[in-house]
């Protein structure tokens, strides 16, 4: 495969002829956000996919991202086919976040792969930064205001209830709710 290098990539990062970068480019994400602020919330999905791909996000076919979504970081973010990402969702990706196909992510959901070690003896209690990958399976529904914390794997066809804080892995076909999130029901 012919390797094409773009001037805005950092270090040894490059974009191959498929249009994907191994990691996201923060400057290109910034430019993407500027353009997206001019596009109506639920319009121009093809243009949005193109811009996010240009910024280094792996995006499947038919993905619909609302204009107010905020994606930040320089990690590896992948979003499967036909996934919906609603208004004001925040995805902070420093290492790796994968979102499966056919997912529905409601407004104001937070998905992040970074945190800090707690260091009471230091000037800043939020000490050394730590990143742990997040994986969300196919067909999941993350309801409004839910939070997915670093290191969590959510199995296929899970429902994360509104306001839930997911800090542990979820097996497939589960409804989880609460703070912290607990299994409420197995979905058959």
Q: Active-site residues: which are they?
A: 116
Do 135 and 118 contact (CB within 8 A), yes or no? no
E-assigned strands of 107-156? 110-112, 114-118, 126-131, 134-136, 141-142, 147-148, 153-154
Distance CA 96, CA 33 (A): 20
Cβ–Cβ < 8 Å for 123, 146: no
The helix (H) or strand (E) run that includes residue 104 is strand 104-105
What is the rounded (10 degree) CA torsion for 121, 124, 128, 130?
A: 120
Distance CA 100, CA 82 (A): 9
CB 116 within 8 A of CB 130: yes
Of 88, 50, 83, 92, whose CA–CA distance to 69 is shortest? 88
């Amino acid at each position: 495969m012919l390797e094409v290098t773009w001037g805005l990539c950092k270090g040894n990062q490059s974009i191959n002829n498929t249009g994907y970068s191994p990691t996201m480019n923060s400057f290109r994400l910034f430019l993407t956000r500027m353009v997206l602020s001019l596009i109506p919330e639920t319009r121009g999905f093809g243009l949005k996919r193109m811009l996010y791909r240009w910024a280094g996000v792996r995006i499947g076919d038919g993905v619909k991202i609302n204009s107010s979504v905020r994606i930040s970081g320089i990690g590896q973010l992948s979003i499967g086919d036909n996934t919906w990402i609603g208004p004001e969702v925040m995805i902070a990706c420093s290492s790796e976040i994968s979102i499966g196909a056919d997912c529905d992510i409601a407004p104001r959901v937070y998905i992040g792969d970074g945190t800090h070690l707690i260091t009471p003896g230091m000037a800043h209690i939020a000490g050394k930064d730590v990143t742990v990958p997040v994986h969300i399976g196919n067909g999941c529904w993350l309801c409004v205001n839910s939070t997915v914390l670093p290191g969590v794997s959510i199995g296929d066809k899970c429902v994360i209830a509104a306001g839930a804080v997911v800090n542990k892995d979820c097996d497939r076909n589960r409804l989880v709710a609460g703070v912290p999130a607990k299994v409420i029901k197995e979905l058959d």
